[in-house]
A and B are shown apart, each in its own frame.
Chain A
């Protein structure tokens, strides 16, 4: 199975469960959780089902394309179901079966792993799913987001597409994975990994990043004051990525780190509060 058939199978499976198939968000994010299709939709009271592929960037994870398991950008397959269906674990098992995995030949384990993101005031309870010792999925019942109790409770399933594909292809390096029958992951991404690692670690202009961060923080507050919450949240995501870049450039001191995280959190919490009070009556 190739990565693209893997994606197609998951798309089909979750669409059949009533998920709307979103397209990948067009901003740099650290995880599928951060896109508006998850962040906003877990906050309100309405039922919600969505699934999408999300490229996720973590600049400090870059290894110049030299490490076979670690990359500064990877692909997540994100599923949100709210309220969490009572048979959600069974659905998840079926999704694996739909990929051709015969679960009776393997050891599938739900191993305690609770998720937390202080920057967006969110935490959840759940597991990392291990398949013969390989982490293939993060499975989380969201309990809070933006500092607010989530109810009905959403469940988030995040498949690591590269991990899953490594399992399916029994490969030792992710660059050897097949994206399609003719194109490997390495063909598509090796140069990107090497160039972005150089950019993230050595070249990105610190002054420019800092200035952009400060200007975006100001812009974010302005948009919140105008009740333009979706643009304001996009700006928070930009700040978060700028912060990550500065971090990988090794340009952030202790006091700055605390201050910058707090700056983002303050904006995100305002967005969450305004959004819930706006949506509260629904």
Chain B
């Protein structure tokens, strides 16, 4: 039987709709599964005013068989199979004749039992009880109340339509009763209509200017945009985020093409496209890589026959572009250098001071990074970029379009004639703003971005801010992932522990209290983020743990370690190596004390050979590790297999002679230490 539910609301944000529809489906499935109600073809749809779920549900729960255990078989029947009183009594108690009793085999032997077939409850009963709970338990990032309703939801619920088996299905959620109707488009057909099933509902609403399927709306937008732009030979500047939002924001997509005065094309593309996208939600139009003085907008209307919507949007956009040009020209009148001097009036964080304080820290961290990475970064230009990178927070342009921060500063620096090492670093220093965003193209940009993000993380940890669950007020997770992404893609080889020390030291007073603790928490935080990134990249979790084992000394090296483990995981030497490492670890587990090797005490042939081979391996491997060539280093380590096996075969470690015992432990400790330089092998899982 078809089940159909529509929750009609005031306009919900697109993210809420998508999450609401999938929560509804998940919760329905859970109820059906736990109630043993077979179902198929569950699907969800949504618009800014509707959450819709449809599915095919069985009319009732599955029959259940329940066995009630009675007396033991021997007590119930005699040798001839005649019923004894125990069987007769048991059968009577359950309303059965003796011949309907069954034999049940249990661990304790054979028993006589009564088998009952329990008919399932009607699905309606289950739905009636669970639907109110399901609807009131949907959760959204920001929830609200309205009127005098105690219910919390994404936006006020206007109506609930529910059908089961082509009949209206009535229930109550809070003060809302489900009904047998829905309404068409809010402005163009606000009439109540009834429908007997989903396909009728979908067709009726299509006549009333509502397309229920978001995928269909998305296709319509793209198709219509393409048609509009055909004669120009142009395309929309692809923006999935905007397309996604618009496909949910409208029930009746209608694509408009508008234009703006060509003169505004003198503004930078970044400024133009942001002015178009923000508030008005307009797509930029491009021909190849060239921006054209047109825009594509999506309205929630059947048509724009009088062109009023197009003209209205053109007027609004023209005003916004005029503003943007005004800001651009005004902003350029004050040099970034002078703006930067006023940054002490802009608060970064209450306890962490102003943006001027932050810029001064970034300068120190940036210069440190540049000097550690030698010729690659230019100390002077990086220092200059750090000094100026936050100055655009005081520009009119960023005040108007906050998402342009950084980019605008970079563009102004370029206009002012700063070298590319300076302006590009400023331009790129917020990148990547998400895991899908590109990392800075310039090396200076990469270093300044790392400095900025690490400064934010250390500061936040320093004042005791916690990142937990969905709470991440400072975007610390995004910052940490951004740093990792840059380090991996830009192959930035830097001692992370020292870098953290530097950042903490630069903070001075603000992070003075608990340096060790801050560092520990930063390490733990980065460990979590790295694990997340590596697992997203598809690495095996145990290899990730093994690569993270030696500690977060150098993020790039962790990645190299992991790649080495990954590339060697199929090698015939790999598993034996892990077994060796585990065996060494087992022996050393109860040895808290560290000992030194005394080569004069190596009496047995096998231990002398092991020691000699190990010394050579170590010498070579350490040099490879220092270079970051973990694949080679690991291959080198594989060579210890045969000497260490013969050592285990012929030499007893735990001998009575303490001096000998300690010396052998010392040898294994040295080996273990070297292994740990590469990975924590004990974390690796060996498949049987």
A residues apposed to B, CB below 8 Å: 67-70, 83-86, 89, 93, 103-112, 114, 124-125, 127-128, 130-135, 141, 143, 151-153, 155, 167, 170, 172, 250, 252-254, 257-258
Instruction: From A93, A143, A167, A252, give the contact of B345 (CB < 8 A).
Output: A252
Pick the interface stretch among B68-76, B145-153, B363-371, B380-388: B145-153
Answer whether residue B108 sits at the interface, using C-beta atoms and an 8 A cutoff. no
Residues of chain A contacted by B313 (CB below 8 angstroms): 132-133
Answer whether residue B142 sits at the interface, using C-beta atoms and an 8 A cutoff. yes
When C-beta atoms are compared, the residue in chain B nearest to A127 turns out to be B11
CA distance A135 to B319 in the complex (A): 13
Say yes or no: A107 contacts B345, CB within 8 Å: no
Instruction: From B309, B345, B350, give the contact of A250 (CB < 8 A).
Output: B345
Taking A127-B11, A250-B342, A258-B350 as contacts, is the C-beta distance between A172 and B315 under 8 angstroms?
yes
Number of A-B contacts (CB under 8 A): 118
CA distance A112 to B249 in the complex (A): 10
Say yes or no: B353 contacts A106, CB within 8 Å: no
Instruction: From A106, A125, A128, A132, give the contact of B144 (CB < 8 A).
Output: A125
Interface flags, B304-337, vs A, CB<8A=1, else 0: 1010110111011111001100100000000000
Pick the interface stretch among B130-138, B294-302, B463-471, B520-528: B294-302
Say yes or no: A141 contacts B145, CB within 8 Å: yes
Instruction: From B11, B317, B319, give the contact of A69 (CB < 8 A).
Output: B319
CA distance A111 to B300 in the complex (A): 12
Say yes or no: B322 contacts A68, CB within 8 Å: yes
* Interface set, chain B 16-62, CB cutoff 8 A to A: 48
CA distance A130 to B317 in the complex (A): 13
11 more A-B residue pairs beyond the given contacts A110-B11, A254-B347, with a C-beta to C-beta distance below 8 A: A84-B146, A86-B158, A107-B299, A112-B11, A124-B144, A132-B316, A151-B148, A153-B145, A253-B345, A254-B344, A254-B354
CA distance A107 to B299 in the complex (A): 6
Answer whether residue B510 sits at the interface, using C-beta atoms and an 8 A cutoff. no
When C-beta atoms are compared, the residue in chain B nearest to A143 turns out to be B144
CA distance A86 to B175 in the complex (A): 12
Residues of chain A contacted by B13 (CB below 8 angstroms): 112
Answer whether residue B188 sits at the interface, using C-beta atoms and an 8 A cutoff. yes
Taking A110-B11, A125-B142, A250-B345 as contacts, is the C-beta distance between A133 and B297 under 8 angstroms?
yes
Taking A108-B187, A254-B344 as contacts, is the C-beta distance between A135 and B146 under 8 angstroms?
no
Smallest Cβ distance from B155 to chain A, in angstroms? 7
When C-beta atoms are compared, the residue in chain A nearest to B356 turns out to be A254
Residues of chain A contacted by B315 (CB below 8 angstroms): 134, 170, 172
* Interface set, chain B 178-203, CB cutoff 8 A to A: 186-188
Taking A107-B300, A254-B344 as contacts, is the C-beta distance between A86 and B156 under 8 angstroms?
yes
Taking A125-B155, A153-B145, A155-B146 as contacts, is the C-beta distance between A106 and B350 under 8 angstroms?
no
Taking A108-B187, A114-B142, A141-B146 as contacts, is the C-beta distance between A67 and B326 under 8 angstroms?
yes
Answer whether residue B139 sits at the interface, using C-beta atoms and an 8 A cutoff. no
Say yes or no: A253 contacts B344, CB within 8 Å: yes
Answer whether residue B10 sits at the interface, using C-beta atoms and an 8 A cutoff. yes
Say yes or no: B147 contacts A85, CB within 8 Å: yes
Residues of chain A contacted by B309 (CB below 8 angstroms): 105-107, 132
Q: Please indicate which of the listed interface residues A86, A128, A151, A152 has the most CB atoms of chain B within 10 Å of its own CB.
A: A86
Residues of chain A contacted by B375 (CB below 8 angstroms): none
Smallest Cβ distance from B128 to chain A, in angstroms? 24
CA distance A132 to B353 in the complex (A): 42
Say yes or no: B316 contacts A133, CB within 8 Å: yes
Say yes or no: B322 contacts A153, CB within 8 Å: no
CA distance A254 to B301 in the complex (A): 48
CA distance A172 to B317 in the complex (A): 11
Residues of chain B contacted by A103 (CB below 8 angstroms): 187
Taking A107-B299, A112-B13, A125-B155 as contacts, is the C-beta distance between A151 and B145 under 8 angstroms?
yes
Taking A131-B312, A135-B279 as contacts, is the C-beta distance between A254 and B345 under 8 angstroms?
yes
Residues of chain A contacted by B342 (CB below 8 angstroms): 250
CA distance A85 to B158 in the complex (A): 11
Residues of chain A contacted by B279 (CB below 8 angstroms): 111, 128, 130, 133, 135
Say yes or no: A143 contacts B145, CB within 8 Å: yes
Interface size on B, residues (CB 8 A): 50
Say yes or no: A153 contacts B146, CB within 8 Å: yes
- Say what secondary structure dominates the interface of chain A: mixed
CA distance A253 to B346 in the complex (A): 7
Residues of chain B contacted by A254 (CB below 8 angstroms): 344-347, 353-354
Smallest Cβ distance from B451 to chain A, in angstroms? 21
5 A–B contacts from the bound complex (CB under 8 Å): A67-B323, A69-B319, A134-B312, A151-B145, A172-B315
CA distance A93 to B187 in the complex (A): 9
Residues of chain B contacted by A257 (CB below 8 angstroms): 345, 347
CA distance A86 to B48 in the complex (A): 18
CA distance A217 to B304 in the complex (A): 55
Say yes or no: A107 contacts B323, CB within 8 Å: no
Query: Which 6 residue pairs spanning A and B have beta carbons closest together?
Result: A132-B312, A107-B299, A110-B11, A125-B144, A112-B13, A133-B313
CA distance A135 to B184 in the complex (A): 25
Instruction: From B158, B187, B318, B353, give the contact of A172 (CB < 8 A).
Output: B318
When C-beta atoms are compared, the residue in chain A nearest to B317 turns out to be A133
Smallest Cβ distance from A47 to chain B, in angstroms? 10
Say yes or no: A153 contacts B148, CB within 8 Å: yes
Residues of chain B contacted by A106 (CB below 8 angstroms): 301, 308-309, 312
Interface flags, B216-236, vs A, CB<8A=1, else 0: 000000000000000000000
Taking A83-B147, A257-B345 as contacts, is the C-beta distance between A104 and B297 under 8 angstroms?
no
CA distance A83 to B156 in the complex (A): 13
Smallest Cβ distance from A101 to chain B, in angstroms? 10
Answer whether residue B513 sits at the interface, using C-beta atoms and an 8 A cutoff. no
Smallest Cβ distance from A238 to chain B, in angstroms? 23
CA distance A69 to B319 in the complex (A): 8
CA distance A254 to B281 in the complex (A): 35
Residues of chain A contacted by B149 (CB below 8 angstroms): 153
Residues of chain B contacted by A114 (CB below 8 angstroms): 142
Answer whether residue B280 sits at the interface, using C-beta atoms and an 8 A cutoff. yes
Smallest Cβ distance from A206 to chain B, in angstroms? 13
Residues of chain A contacted by B280 (CB below 8 angstroms): 130, 133
CA distance A170 to B308 in the complex (A): 11
Say yes or no: A152 contacts B147, CB within 8 Å: yes
Smallest Cβ distance from B47 to chain A, in angstroms? 12
Smallest Cβ distance from A70 to chain B, in angstroms? 8
Say yes or no: B148 contacts A167, CB within 8 Å: no
Residues of chain B contacted by A124 (CB below 8 angstroms): 144
Residues of chain A contacted by B300 (CB below 8 angstroms): 107-109
Say yes or no: B308 contacts A83, CB within 8 Å: no
Residues of chain B contacted by A70 (CB below 8 angstroms): 323
Taking A103-B187, A253-B344 as contacts, is the C-beta distance between A68 and B319 under 8 angstroms?
yes
Residues of chain A contacted by B10 (CB below 8 angstroms): 89, 110
CA distance A6 to B533 in the complex (A): 57
Q: Please indicate which of the listed interface residues A108, A254, A258 has the most CB atoms of chain B within 10 Å of its own CB.
A: A254
Taking A125-B144, A250-B342 as contacts, is the C-beta distance between A109 and B249 under 8 angstroms?
yes
Residues of chain B contacted by A108 (CB below 8 angstroms): 187, 300
Residues of chain B contacted by A250 (CB below 8 angstroms): 342, 345
Smallest Cβ distance from B81 to chain A, in angstroms? 73
Residues of chain B contacted by A69 (CB below 8 angstroms): 319, 323
* Interface set, chain B 622-675, CB cutoff 8 A to A: none
Instruction: From B158, B301, B317, give the contact of A107 (CB < 8 A).
Output: B301
CA distance A11 to B326 in the complex (A): 36
Say yes or no: A141 contacts B144, CB within 8 Å: yes
